[in-house]
Structure 1
């Protein structure tokens, strides 16, 4: 006799892999200071946040001169910033294409430490990214639909209603039409069922990532509101 094992599945709607970035250069000074008996904590840093080209990821750079921040504390700044890059200020998505530059600061002979500078970097991130006009990015897919000509109008209309942008039309042997379009991934869930219904199962499609692009403001607001509900 074989014992049957039952696993309870948690089924949720597919999640879009959003990203966050910034639109302009911003500089912020953040002082972390804590005194509660005994040795305190002190770190003073000025960080400049700069947007980078798409696909560059994130980068840290130090422009400290003259020992304003001792060399042994700089890794604390870098670690604090790196920790924050996985959780953006808009809706908690990973941050990409941002350069963080440590440009100035000061320290205390007794109260400064790597940890203090790490905590200061976290505060500088929260303030600086908000000053840098944060934006949300969404994956945009290159979608090719192969459809009989009689269904071409329905296919195009549906893609256009899904925030799609047509690149081209082409002919394919066998009397098929090929629609090449850019469509946000968020609009493509359940598309296989939609396409099958529109074309009586006679059309097919391929999809691959083309780029990340800025999310429309009203959708960004919705995502940010959901993040606030989760955090509450």
Structure 2
């Protein structure tokens, strides 16, 4: 039997409850919505403390926000939609990191050597314990894994999740008195952050397949508009008195498109938009995109 995987979460919105009562209701309501819909997720931004809701597209999240407000009477400030970018390294790197600190009569010591390698798209994260001969005692390995996991949710390039990564623990050192699971957690965390900085981190964005059906008198406008959104035209066909346009476009450029289309041709233009693949973001002169928690609207 083939398992059914939830659609990728491509859009994020930050929300802030307006009152303490709203705050108390929010967590339980979001948990209920997530249990009912595997494609809907939520988390807390570590820096801002804001709640981040995540879905497949703008309409998906708009529906959840409407349920929050109308059904459960949760009042909240709603952020502007942000694209859920990903970060990947582009080349293998080897890093050695030693965590050493003196705290009163006892210190902290842990040393790790890791190899970080990019994996094919869709591979997720893989950890390999390559320690032989007890260079890192087995009771400290969970600390190493915890330290690595703590980095994956926020990459070094723009703070987006790190994916398609293999990390091998190949060597290390410990101290009979000063080493601990926490010390190895800290060492692994710092080693991986250094590896991401050295590994040619690249930002990836979701590319969408957009299909628009428009009357002939609106077709030229549709094509020009898609071109202004950096879309790559795939196909244009005639269907009776309608024109079907197919294109691939970055999701960031398509945000708000569902509000634009109804104004074209008095409602005679329709479209569908589905995730197609991830591709590297071209950032010639622009800084990385803002984190999703930035920017609220009432």
Query: Normalised by the size of structure 2, how large is the TM-score?
Result: 0.70
Number of equivalences: 222
Kept in 1: contact 2:100–2:108 (CA 8 A): yes
How far apart in 2 are the matches of 1:92 and 1:219?
19
In structure 2, runs of 5+ residues without a counterpart are 1-71
Instruction: Specify the alignment match of 2:282 in structure 1.
Output: 216
Instruction: Specify the alignment match of 1:186 in structure 2.
Output: 252
Instruction: Specify the alignment match of 1:148 in structure 2.
Output: 215
Other structure's SS at 2:184 match = helix
Kept in 2: contact 1:45–1:104 (CA 8 A): yes
How far apart in 2 are the matches of 1:205 and 1:8?
31
Q: Deviations over 1:35-67 (max 9, x none)?
A: 122221111001111111111111111211221
Other structure's SS at 1:196 match = helix
Instruction: Specify the alignment match of 2:16 in structure 1.
Output: none
Other structure's SS at 1:11 match = strand
How far apart in 1 are the matches of 2:258 and 2:136?
56
Instruction: Specify the alignment match of 2:136 in structure 1.
Output: 69
Alignment of 1:1-232 (within 5 A): 8-172=75-239, 174-218=240-284, 221-223=287-289, 226=290
Query: Normalised by the size of structure 1, how large is the TM-score?
Result: 0.88
In structure 1, runs of 5+ residues without a counterpart are none
How far apart in 2 are the matches of 1:22 and 1:57?
12
Q: Deviations over 1:185-212 (max 9, x none)?
A: 1111221232233433211000111111
How far apart in 2 are the matches of 1:72 and 1:166?
55
1:156 shift after superposition: 1.3
1:70 shift after superposition: 1.4
**Alpha-carbon RMSD:** 2.0
Kept in 2: contact 1:170–1:177 (CA 8 A): yes
Distance 1:6 1:151, change over 3 A: closer
1:97 shift after superposition: 0.7
